[in-house]
Structure 1
Amino acid sequence: MNRRHFSKLLVAGASAAAAPSAFSKDMNTTPFKSLFAPHPGLLPTAPRGYVKGMEFAYELGFRAWEDNGLIKRSAKLQEEVATFAKEKGITLGVTVISGGNGVHFATANEEEQESILNDMRLGVETAKRTGQTHMTMVPGIRKGDEDLDKQIAASADLMKRCCDIVEEHGIIMVLEPLSHGIKGGAPILRSFEDGFKLCEAVNRKSCKLLADFYHEGQIGNDLIPNAEKTWSQAAYVQYGDVPGRKEPGSGKLDYVAVTKWLRDKGYQGVIGMEHGVSAKGKEGLEKLMAAYRKIDA
């Protein structure tokens, strides 16, 4: 990209982030120990502009960034994001390589399979520009009248074909169990255990579990015991409190304990802040920052 243009973006972003109106002068902006990753639009009072938003996050102490929709953004912006991240030492988290397209992986016809494989090819092209290594994968829907374990086992063949495309490019697909519906119906993966079973059946280094503690908490499962049982297949983490899917501390989930557990496990990867905020403006930013400073202690 044009280096002069990029320099202007950095200067503008830094100026906006440093402005007294952006956040309190006495707010702790020391880099977080954990790689917490905000996403576009999450941080209240952030300046407009994608790279400016990343700069704002950096000034607040965040050293990771996550954007589910980065794969759909222009190649030019993807390259700008990659350049900024590299210069600032920011780790890029996931983007969604496929939402499943309403496909039942276990019985997908040739056309349905090709739609999923095309998603993989787009993911490869994105990764070439951004350099990111983890991408969220939602492996389709379930059929409620059939044995779930058999459906999961039968889904492995299409997942292996996906691995054949992405693995040589260093991409790790992280399978996300979801507590809500998706295109076509209920997701085949609802829990950490479901995701674990599919990862075990696929048995490839490019197919791992995304441990989104919000979804696991939303369906009522105990967080740490279920994470412990499935951790051997986990490769990425996301947060969000229950109820409401806002910042830690806004609900009932114990993210102090979860974060400590992750550190005890030696996890040093990205923790995606895949949630909203419980307040607007300066108050919202201060509550968000206080929540993450508390669990990062």
Structure 2
Amino acid sequence: MQRRDALKLTAGLPFVAASPSIASVKAEKFTAAFAPHHNMFKHHAGDDILDQIRWSADMGFTAWEDNGMPNRDVDVQKKIGELLAKRDMRMGVFVANKINWTQPTLTLGAGEHRDAFLQSIRESVEVAKRCHATWMTVVPGFVNMRLEMGYQTANVVETLKQGAAILEPHGLVMVLEPLNYRDHPGLFLTKAAQAYEICKAVDSPACKILFDIYHQQIQEGNLIPNIDLAWDEIAYYQIGDNPGRKEPTTGEINYGNVLQHIHDKGFRGILGMEHGNSEGGKSGEMKVIEAYRMVDVQ
């Protein structure tokens, strides 16, 4: 099927209330493992997260992402994992640690913040088992204005080494996410090169990079060269166009070229759709799907 034909399967379909069999027509699966998130398609699928996963699968998505998974009831986590397995979908990231957006934590080194982080990693192992996840997002938190960056980096590296030792026996991976200065001023981790340096220092298969294309476009641009330079430490990507942090084709990023480049280099992992919809309602949800059909890889 050609991409233009696949678009016809999604544009303007008369989907109504959610049910165990939501769609009467199922769309062709995307080539890339794009991962929608909770409430991205609620106008078509309803409020129940399980129905939203079913509807996403019917629309051709083969992955799912849920930052707030650790906050869900244990029973819901298990049901999500079971449904994803049934629908042949992979689980993407959830956020492993509580992020402090204004005060230093992991940059401080040993103490209560390191202890709390390591406890969150232990708890995340159980969450991952329930929902069949492999990756979990880690953000090291706020910069320490009273300590040289080299010491802060050493403190973060040591904390992550201890976290990696917890994850390695389970085959799980924490992915470090650099965030941009505009949306999140004052955070410690901002650039791909910085994340690369830290991952090399931790030296563990359980500590890799989450390359959020939206954040990195704002922070430093030069997307494809930076992806190439950090390639062997990147385990996960997230998507959002700039400006606006909406679906691809709504901003300045040439997602068709960027995603094809990643695919051509051999990446077959998950690409999280961490953005809002540019338009509301059912028509806005279909616009998101159409955008992903346009930038899907060949």
Residue in 2 aligned with 1:152? 153
Distance 1:216 1:87 in 2: 35
Distance 1:74 1:192 in 2: 34
Residue in 1 aligned with 2:124? 123
* 2:118 matches 1:84: no
How many residues end up aligned between the 2 structures?
A: 278
Distance 1:51 1:175 in 2: 28
Partner AA of 1:77 in structure 2: V
1:182 is displaced (CA, Å) by: 9.2
Q: Which runs of 5+ in 2 are unaligned?
A: 1-17
Distance 2:280 2:30 in 1: 23
Instruction: Choose the corresponding residue for 2:19, options 7, 13, 18.
Output: 13
* 2:101 matches 1:95: no
Residue in 2 aligned with 1:31? 29
Partner AA of 1:86 in structure 2: A
The within-5 A match list for 1:129-140 is 129-140=130-141
1:105 is displaced (CA, Å) by: 2.2
Partner AA of 1:277 in structure 2: N
Residue in 2 aligned with 1:162? 163
Q: Which runs of 5+ in 1 are unaligned?
A: 1-11, 20-24
Kindly report the root-mean-square deviation, in angstroms, between the aligned alpha carbons of the 2 structures.
Answer: 2.1
Instruction: State the identity %.
Output: 35
Distance 2:141 2:129 in 1: 25
Residue in 1 aligned with 2:218? 218
| Contact 1:141 1:182 (C-alpha < 8 Å) held by counterparts | no
The within-5 A match list for 1:1-297 is 13-15=19-21, 17-18=22-23, 29-43=27-41, 44-101=43-100, 102-144=103-145, 146-180=147-181, 186-297=186-297
**Residues 1:210 and 1:93: Cα distance change in structure 2 (over 3 Å):** same
> SS of the counterpart of 2:276?
coil
1:290 is displaced (CA, Å) by: 1.2
Instruction: Write the deviation string for residues 140-176 of structure 1: whole angstroms up to 9, x where unpaired.
Output: 2212465435422332111111112122111100000
| Contact 2:107 2:156 (C-alpha < 8 Å) held by counterparts | yes
Off by >6 Å, runs of 4+ in structure 1: none
> SS of the counterpart of 1:228?
helix
